A and B are shown apart, each in its own frame.
Chain A
């Protein structure tokens, strides 16, 4: 199979498991289907020549963030069967209509051609990855052109840690 066929296989897996994720009544089921979506997206990242991002996707998203979600679901004991949290038919119809309209708006993006002025010559990213390595080609710009945003991200993460502790603790 060529890479386009693989791409569609993993893409269909991602879309189907995302659909199952938003329609499962049980939050644990939703979380597990979201994990499947995240793994399928990691496979898509590999096919798009972003192997390092794919590894981070599995480690950070499917690993850390989803464990946090499942941990909170278990902590609040939401896994037991109960009344469905899906809204009534009127809201459901509104949601489907609005989502359909959004999809119609987003769909042309995939068919419009990029202008030649922003497009790099074909194979130049692959050549860069060959030259600097897969991690090096991402780390280079991260520590040069994007150094200030990188430092701000570390401050943001520190603020999030402190904020999470302050919010979740009963008494400081």
Chain B
């Protein structure tokens, strides 16, 4: 039965994605870490689809569609910010921070 190892691998991948978001400053790398988290969730969906029914595989298709939309819009935002600040480091993005 592959369900238990799949959920364990998925937990580790999700955790690595969260850690990446927490300790990187480069907006593009943080974006890639978000994709890593989405993929960890996809692995959970596929693993459970084998036990509960193919609905999980359908949900992976939706996650992929949302991830594609998110990547397109997010990278466009990063391009727009880069034009203003000449940098993609989140340290420089403090327009809404007071003081």
Contacts and interface: CB of A to CB of B under 8 A. Distances in A.
A1 interface: no
A22 B39 CA distance: 14
Interface residues of A, number: 83
B93 to A, nearest CB: 13
B9 to A, nearest CB: 4
Interface of B: 2-9, 11-20, 22-26, 28-29, 31-33, 35-36, 39, 42-43, 46-47, 49-55, 57-58, 60-62, 64-73, 75-80, 82-83, 88-89
Interface of A: 3-4, 7-8, 11, 14-15, 18-19, 21-22, 27, 30-31, 34, 37-38, 41, 44-45, 47-50, 52-53, 56-57, 60-61, 64-65, 68-69, 72-73, 75-76, 78, 85-87, 91-92, 94-96, 98-100, 102-103, 106-107, 109-111, 114, 118-120, 125, 128, 137-138, 141-142, 145-146, 149-150, 153, 156-157, 159-161, 163-165, 167-168, 170
